[in-house]
Amino acid sequence: MVHHGRMTDLTRIPAPDGVAAAAQYSHVVMGTGRFVAVSGQLALDEDGKLIGEGAPAAQAHQIFENLRRCLAAASAVQVASLVRPEFLMEIEAFAVLPS
């Protein structure tokens, strides 16, 4: 990554505490300054077990808990709102997402 004409050092956190490790990527990447990138999260517990099969509310809760853990690993403050492109299978699932 280039920042103001020079290479930025990146710090990768493959698996923050409480988040299942992914085989091919890091969950969190931090750059110079306030840059933090968090990968898309799944409803998996720290052992990689699906939480809330058939229960969108439980899955949404786990996903946002994983996001919180990723941001905490980057020492990021919690933000009031997140940009969240969503791909939902059932319209009923939208009601369980935080606003």
pLDDT, tens digit (0-9, with 9 covering 90-100), for 8-48 = 689 999 999 999 999 899 999 988 777 888 888 999 999 99
Q: CB under 8 Å to 96, separation ≥6 — which residues?
A: 56, 57, 60, 61
Q: What confidence tier does 97 reach under pLDDT thresholds 50, 70, 90?
A: low
Measured CA to CA, the distance from residue 12 to residue 51 in angstroms comes to 26
| Mean pLDDT to the nearest integer, 54-72 | 90
User: pTM to 2 decimals?
Assistant: 0.71
The Cα 42–Cα 19 span in angstroms is: 10
Query: Residue 52: which of 24, 93, 80 has the closest Cα?
Result: 93
